[in-house]
């Protein structure tokens, strides 16, 4: 329960920090409504639409309503998928408004000791420190390889957890060893005539739990003619912090990454995770009020590209024979890759170039799968509703391979496959891993 004193501080924060012009840009036209998963899955409740949430923010800023539990609940239930932005005729930057509102609430509301402890552990103690991420992932690897996972499942221990978490445990990838995680080179030459010099953003989860996908990304870049620099001092992109009301920490991480990549002399900065890429490309907004860092953030942003973009631009699909055993494939867009990085055509061009792959477009492939960072954990009920709708559309394609371009989406689609009992017929795979599979056959 938010106290009256906390509500007053939150309201003052809205008055001081919320962008009045951006709030007024919303014309209440309703073009965003059909694109909003929570509006649809909540039974078309206005309070759970982008238009409705902007109206709430404006009302709090103007002192017309109190920032009570209903307001906070509406903002918390938002996926932050930003599907409303491409369809908005006024170009409202809804994602920026949402993150600012969440940060104001988070910084002015006293959390329960257990919640505060968990947040400090995750946001301060874990994600900003890659060596700790490696240690935690190493423990998960021990759990998988030691036989403990089999024992845990056999005795039914996972039944003590919510269904979605218990199922998630089944779909986690086989994680690498500590030795593999620490064996990251800082430079790789092009395999053929050099076309571009690129710097690779490794990410925190991507370079631990999804290390194999990162390694495949580097191999594809080499095959495409890229010389690769991998800055050692880079770290977490800050997306989890920025989306969860920890703005100051995300700014700190942004500065660290900008500095790490500034002296690489790279033509492009490459990412292979839609969620990371979308936050990285917003660094200029994050640092807009800092006269020293804003131009540096702009320069960083202008070099950022998704792996699929650079591969298409370098004609990777034309210069390499891509072939798979006959299968039906479909593609689930990463919300942030499509809606923020504006990358949707390149993945499809690559997939459609694979011999043996029958590509079929999924209905509403651009609609969120319900993963949204840790949303599928903290808002499990809504997440599973959205996932069930997504799986209905995926099954309609009769695809045997569901492809995506973000680790969270990948785990969510695997979760959907598990929930539907399709593990023997359907697989989910990151586009980079599928391309690597195709180019080596």
DSSP code string of 158-205? GGGS-HHHHHHHHH---PPPHHHHH---SEE--SSS--EEEEE---SS
pLDDT of residue 21: 95
pLDDT of residue 441: 67
CA distance 244 to 247: 8
Burial of 380 (0-12, 13-18, 19+ CB in 10 A): middle
Both tokens assigned to 202: 């490794």
- 241, 254 Cβ separation under 8 angstroms: no
pLDDT of residue 112: 82
Q: How far apart are the first and last CA of the chain?
A: 58
Per-residue pLDDT of the chain (441 residues; tens, 9 = 90+): 678 899 999 999 999 999 999 999 999 999 999 999 999 999 999 999 999 999 999 999 999 999 999 999 999 999 999 999 999 999 999 999 999 999 999 999 888 888 788 888 888 888 888 888 888 888 887 788 887 878 787 777 777 676 767 777 778 888 888 888 888 899 999 998 888 999 999 999 899 999 999 999 999 999 999 999 999 999 999 999 999 889 999 999 999 999 999 999 999 999 999 999 999 999 999 999 999 999 999 999 999 999 999 999 999 999 888 999 999 999 999 999 999 999 999 999 999 999 999 999 999 999 999 998 889 888 999 999 999 999 999 999 999 999 999 999 999 999 999 999 999 999 999 999 999 999 976
pLDDT of residue 160: 66
pLDDT of residue 166: 73
CB-hemisphere CA count at 13 Å for 139? 5
CA distance 201 to 189: 16
């Amino acid at each position: 329960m938010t106290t009256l004193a906390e509500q007053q501080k939150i309201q003052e924060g809205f008055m001081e920090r919320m962008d009045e012009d951006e709030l007024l840009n919303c014309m209440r036209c309703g073009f965003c409504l059909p694109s909003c998963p929570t509006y649809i899955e909540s039974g078309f409740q206005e309070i759970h639409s982008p238009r409705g949430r902007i109206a709430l923010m404006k009302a709090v800023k103007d002192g017309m309503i109190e920032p009570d539990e209903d307001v906070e609940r509406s903002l918390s239930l938002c996926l932050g998928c930003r599907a409303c932005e491409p369809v908005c005729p006024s170009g409202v930057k809804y994602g920026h408004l949402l993150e600012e509102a969440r940060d104001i609430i988070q910084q002015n509301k006293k959390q329960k000791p257990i919640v505060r402890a968990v947040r400090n552990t995750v946001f301060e103690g874990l994600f900003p420190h890659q060596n700790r991420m490696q240690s935690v992932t190493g423990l998960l690897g021990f759990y998988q390889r030691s036989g403990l996972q089999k024992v845990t499942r056999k005795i039914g221990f996972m039944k003590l957890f919510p269904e979605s978490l218990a199922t998630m445990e089944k779909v986690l990838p086989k994680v690498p060893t500590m030795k593999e995680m620490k064996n990251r080179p800082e430079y790789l030459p092009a395999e053929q005539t050099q076309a571009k010099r690129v710097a690779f953003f490794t990410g925190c989860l991507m370079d631990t739990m999804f290390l194999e996908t990162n390694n495949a990304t580097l191999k594809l870049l080499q095959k495409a003619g890229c010389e690769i620099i991998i800055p050692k001092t880079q770290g977490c992109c800050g997306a989890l912090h920025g989306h969860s009301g920890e703005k100051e920490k995300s700014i700190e991480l942004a500065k660290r990454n900008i500095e790490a990549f500034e002296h690489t002399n790279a033509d492009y900065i490459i990412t292979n995770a839609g969620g990371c890429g979308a936050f990285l490309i917003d660094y200029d907004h994050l640092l807009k009020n800092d006269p020293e860092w804003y131009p540096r953030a702009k320069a960083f942003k202008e070099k950022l590209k998704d792996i699929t973009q650079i591969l298409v631009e370098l004609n990777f699909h034309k210069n390499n024979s891509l072939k798979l055993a006959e299968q039906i494939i479909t593609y689930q867009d990463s919300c942030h890759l499509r809606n923020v990085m504006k990358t949707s055509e390149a993945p499809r061009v690559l997939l459609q170039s694979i011999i043996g792959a029958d590509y079929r477009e999924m209905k509403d492939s651009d609609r969120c799968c319900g993963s949204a960072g840790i949303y599928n954990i903290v808002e499990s009920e809504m997440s599973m509703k959205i996932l069930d709708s997504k799986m209905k559309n995926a099954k309609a394609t009769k695809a045997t391979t569901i492809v995506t371009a973000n680790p969270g989406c990948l785990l969510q689609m695997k979760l959907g496959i598990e929930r539907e009992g399709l593990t023997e017929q359907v697989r989910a795979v990151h586009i980079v891993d599928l391309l690597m599979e195709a180019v080596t056959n």
